[in-house]
Chains A and B, each alone.
Chain A
Amino acid sequence: MLLQVDKATTSKFLLRRRTTSEKLVDISFKNFVVTMASMVAIILFSIFAVVYYESTESISRYGLRFLFSSAWNPVTDEYGAFTAIYGTLFTSIASLLIAIPLGVGTAIFITENIIPKYIRDLIGIMVELLAAIPSVVLGLWAVFIMEPFIRPFLNMVHEIFGFIPFFGTEPLGAGMMPAILILVVMILPIITSISKDSLNQVPSNLRQAAYGIGATRWTTIFKVIIPAAISGITGGVLLALGRAMGETMAVTMIIGNSNNFSWSIFAPSYTISSMLANQFGEADGSQVSSLMYAALILMILTLMVNVFAQWIVKKLSLKYQ
């Protein structure tokens, strides 16, 4: 019907009526992008499904007992992931406790006008470049440079505070403490850059209001700026926690990979990811299933942290609007 009333000009515009091929391209493109978007969902679901399916044997055999036993013996076929779970949680939380003040402090330093802007920008870029260095290179550096350097200091701590179980064993190289320190290096850029972004987003009139009533710089920072940026900072800290729990290579190279449980932070230990990296290639039979069970636990832990991070960012930022 539209065609009949077309003007004489129609001849100049061949596509005034859309051709079937043009419509086909349009529709197939839409179908293509929908499929691509679904891939994310499919991959995520299949990762969970595959890891769960592969670990069913171990789950039905050990149940929750797996979480509290530190037996790991391929010869007798007895497995428990307590040491690895404890190691994962302990190393990641300890590194977080060190990295939070450092990262947030750095972020404050480079968002305040204490020193000239180009130096602050340079520091910001350098911290972000630190995130670009691959884990395995940091591991190499930790094994050959950092660990030999800090060992005398750790030894000193051991000699003075050796009566406390946490420092109870002699540092002999690889162990939990160097792993914690290298994790600090790895998560520092995340905390710093996310905190920096959230601090930068605090509206400048808040700061002016505080200065206007005679608050000092640090009163302003602690009472006004940080509370306003807290949602972003918390989100960054939780993302860093997730990252630290899943971090593999550097930790595997420096933690010593031992399944014997010890309270001492100088003794060799395990994390779930280092256990996977270390054993998965050569494992077979029920050991694979147990490793998959451990992988499932790691996934659930990181998933909880990440979902909580997304939730808290939404929750806290809503509160501030």
Chain B
Amino acid sequence: MINKISHNKKNFKNDSSISVSLDNVSIKYGNSVAVKNVFCDIKKNQVTSFIGPSGCGKSTVIRAINRMNDLIEGCELSGSVIFEGTDIYAKDIDPVEVRRRIGMVFQQPNPFPKSIYENIAFGARVNGFTGNMDQLVEESLIKAAVWDECKDKLNESGYSLSGGQQQRLCIARTIAIEPDVILMDEPCSALDPLSTLKVEETIHELKRNFTIIIVTHNMQQANRVSDYTAFFNTEKDGKDPGGKVGFLVEFSKTKNMFNSPKQKSTQDYISGKFG
């Protein structure tokens, strides 16, 4: 195990194509282990999707990448999450700065109770944006493919949009702060199929400029949007008879995983036998 870690680190330093590297990450909520021993290197400017049955810890892992888990009391992480050469769980790291570099889009669309314009400008201002704000708002909304639908009502409340539009507004808000990585935690689970399609198109567009990690329970979606796929599964917790622990089963190119999975459980999952 120790060899593996050092190997991993060395490997990482030489490889500038890697954005985020999960290095033996285990996460506990209080006494119960949610997910354990995750090793995973996420490539720059690619879309990586996390799939797996519910309770396998995929959302927990994605939240660990920009330290959103700090908000949950009793949540502990061991191992390290390395972002561009820095362990973001080191003592002197400020989680707020991490989140400025690694943005996040959540499961439920969550616009601020402000105007559409302010929703985007607020984040930029928090990050000390000095350029032309009108231009930034327009560009971000165009990139998130929601500009046409809201260009005439920028001063209306963010809640005046439909669910799918709200979610793309939230994506625009994240793009506006120009993070290096965008995390998306089941961004389409609250949306109708048409909106889902639009968000997926948006993700395709964004790939050129951003590293994207997306959690999804929809295998077709993973197949459509992502370049790499990580499959998580659960197993019985050895210590806690009722509990389940998530772990990473397989991580490879999406094409390979869906055509020729290496593990039996991956095969079962993507062919719909369980989950």
* A contacts B: CB pair < 8 Å: yes
Name A's B-contacting residues (CB within 8 A): 1-2, 5, 7, 9, 12-18, 23, 26
Q: A7-B178, A7-B180, A23-B94 are in contact. Are A14 and B130 (CB under 8 A)?
A: yes
Identify 25 residue pairs between A and B in the complex whose beta-carbon atoms are under 8 Å apart, listed by A's number: A2-B84, A2-B86, A2-B101, A5-B84, A7-B178, A9-B178, A12-B129, A12-B130, A13-B100, A13-B124, A13-B130, A13-B177, A13-B178, A14-B128, A14-B129, A15-B100, A15-B127, A16-B97, A16-B100, A16-B127, A16-B128, A17-B97, A18-B96, A23-B94, A26-B96
A5 to B44 alpha-carbon distance, docked (Å) = 13
Across-interface contacts of A13 in B (CB, < 8 A): 100, 124, 127-130, 177-178
Q: Within 8 Å of chain A (Cβ to Cβ): is B131?
A: yes
Report if B126 contacts A (CB, 8 A): yes
CB within 8 Å for A2 and B97 given contacts A12-B130, A15-B128: yes
State the total of A-B contacts with C-beta under 8 angstroms: 41
The answer to whether B85 touches A5 (Cβ under 8 A) is yes
Interface flags, B117-131, vs A, CB<8A=1, else 0? 000000010111111
How far does the Cβ of A19 sit from chain B's closest Cβ, in whole Å? 8
Give the distance to chain B from A64, nearest Cβ to Cβ, in Å: 46
A15: which B residues are within 8 A, CB to CB? 100, 126-128
List A contacts of B94 (CB < 8 A).
18, 23
Contacts of A5 in B (CB 8 A): 84-85
Closest partner residue, chain A, to B127 (CB atom) = A13
Known: A12-B130, A14-B128. 6 other contacts (CB 8 A): A2-B86, A2-B101, A13-B128, A13-B177, A18-B94, A18-B96
Once A2-B97, A2-B101, A18-B94 are accepted as A-B contacts, the answer to whether A12 and B86 lie under 8 Å apart by CB is no
- CB-based contact B86/A1 at 8 Å: yes
Residues facing A in B100-136 (CB within 8 A) are: 100-101, 124, 126-131
Q: How far is the CB of B65 from chain A (nearest CB, A)?
A: 15
Bound CA–CA A142/B60 (angstroms): 64
Q: How distant is B15 from chain A, measured CB to nearest CB, in Å? A: 13
Closest A residue, CB atoms, query B178: A9
Could you tell me the distance in whole angstroms from the C-beta of B124 to the nearest C-beta in chain A?
8
In the bound assembly, the distance between CA atoms of A16 and B130 in angstroms comes to 11
**B180 and chain A: residue at smallest CB distance:** A7
Is B85's CB under 8 angstroms from A16's CB?
no
Q: List the 5 closest pairs (A to B, CB-CB), nearest first.
A: A15-B128, A14-B128, A13-B127, A5-B84, A12-B131
State how many angstroms separate the Cβ of A18 from the closest Cβ of chain B: 6
Q: Which residue of B lies closest to A23 (CB)?
A: B94
Question: Inside 8 A of A2's CB, which chain B residues have their CB?
Answer: 84, 86, 97, 101
CB distance from A9 to the nearest CB of B (A): 5
Which A residue sits closest to B98, measured CB to CB? A2
Most buried by B among A9, A16, A17, A18: A16
B178 touches A1 (CB 8 A): no
- B residues within 8 A CB of A18? 94, 96-97
Interface string of B149-182 (1 = CB under 8 A from A): 0000000000000000000000000000110100
Distance to closest chain B CB from A27 (angstroms): 11
User: CA separation between A15 and B130, bound complex, in Å?
Assistant: 10
Q: Which residue of A lies closest to B124 (CB)?
A: A13
From residue B99, how far is it (CB to closest CB) to chain A in Å? Answer: 11
Measured between C-beta atoms, what is the minimum distance from B71 to chain A in Å? Answer: 15
- Residues from chain B with Cβ under 8 Å of A23 in the complex: 94
A89 to chain B, nearest CB (A): 43
A308 to chain B, nearest CB (A): 30
The chain A residue sitting closest to B93, CB to CB, is A2
Q: How far is the CB of A140 from chain B (nearest CB, A)?
A: 46
A5–B178 CA distance with the chains assembled, in angstroms: 14
Q: From residue B107, how far is it (CB to closest CB) to chain A in Å?
A: 27
Q: Give A16 to B127 CA distance when docked, in angstroms.
A: 6
Q: A57–B188 Cα gap in the complex (Å)?
A: 72
Q: How far is the CA of A298 from the CA of B128 in the complex (A)?
A: 57
For A16, list chain B residues within 8 Å (CB): 97, 100-101, 127-128
How far does the alpha carbon of A154 sit from the alpha carbon of B126 in the complex, in Å? Answer: 71
Report the minimum CB–CB distance from B128 to chain A (whole Å).
3
B90 to chain A: closest CB distance in Å?
Answer: 10
**Bound complex: CA A1 to CA B84 (Å):** 9
Q: Which residues of A contact B84 (CB under 8 A)?
A: 2, 5
Measured between beta carbons, the chain A residues less than 8 angstroms from B178 are 7, 9, 12-13
User: Measured between C-beta atoms, what is the minimum distance from B19 to chain A in Å?
Assistant: 10
Chain B, residue nearest A15 (CB): B128
- Are A1 and B128 in contact, CB atoms less than 8 angstroms apart? no
Residue in B closest to A14 when the chains form the complex, CB atoms? B128
Nearest CB of chain B from residue A26's CB, rounded to whole Å: 8
CA–CA, A18 and B85, complex, Å: 19
Query: B233 to nearest A CB, angstroms?
Result: 34
Q: Which of chain B's residues has its CB closest to A11's CB?
A: B130
**Minimum C-beta distance from A169 to chain B (A):** 62
Residues of B within 8 A of A7 (CB): 178, 180
Rounded to whole Å, the gap between the CB of B9 and the closest CB of chain A is 14
A124 to chain B, nearest CB (A): 30
